[in-house]
Structures are given as C-alpha cells and as structure tokens.
Amino acid sequence: MPRATNGVAAHHRHKKVLKQVKGHRATRSKLFGKANESMMRSLRYAYRDRRTRKRDFRRLWISRINAAARLNGLTYGGLIHGLQLAGIAVDRKILSDLAVREPEAFAGLAEQAKQASGAAAS
C-alpha cells in the first residue's frame, strides 16, 4: 500500500505562506523554509508594532500640543491641568488636531485653561 504524504495539504500550506511573503527579498519569497521563517518574524513585528504605533502617536500629539501651548504662554502640563480645572474634556488627539489646523480655536482653549488655573490659584 502506498504511503500517504499529505501532499495536497502541504502544497496548500506552502502556497499560503509564499503568498504572504510576496515582496520579501531573495529566497525569503521563493523557498518555503526561509519564507516561513520570514513570515513568522514579520507577523511578530506586526503584532508588536500595532501596539507601538499607539504609543508613537500619543507622543506626537503631546509634542504638538506642547509646542502650541508654549506659543500661547503655557506649558503642556499647565494646559492639561487648566483644561481639567475648567471641566473641558478634550482628548490629546483632538487637541493636537486643533493646534495644527485651527490655531485660533486652540488659543481659545488655552485662554480658558489659563483663566481656570488662575482662578484656582487665588
């Protein structure tokens, strides 16, 4: 009796892996063994970097808010604290977008934050 070699299933598995590594360089896109290693590593990077991307964006937003706050005579921490005291709940993504696209609106928020922190100090 002939030996079953799992041929069809293995062929499908190999095709699936080789399709995923299309665009990788040299044997990483041609030979199954190297392609499988390359695919596993790329999937690990993708998983890790989906989380890293969130951190990176938050850092970018904070940098933009800080720069705009300083143009309006506040520090980043002072602005955030003033907004909390004023009861204004705007997340960092929206604040950053306002700072870049609508500086006048951001200046208005900064003024409200200044007044709220000034009122709390006295």
pLDDT for 18 equals 93
Packing angle, helices 32-71 and 92-101, rounded to 10: 70
Q: For residue range 53-111, what is the model confidence (pLDDT) as tens digits?
A: 999 999 999 999 999 999 999 999 999 999 999 898 889 999 999 999 999 999 999 99
Domains of the chain and CATH, by start: 9-121 (1.10.1900.20)
What's the CA gap between 11 and 7, in Å, rounded?
6
Torsion of CA 14, 18, 20, 23, to 10 degrees: 170
- Grouping H, G, I as helix, E, B as strand and the rest as coil, residue 30 is coil
Q: Which candidate, 58, 72, 54, 60, places its Cα nearest to that of 112? A: 72
- State the amino acid at position 2 in one-letter form: P
Q: What is the pTM assigned to this prediction? A: 0.77
Percentage of residues in the chain having pLDDT higher than 90? 83
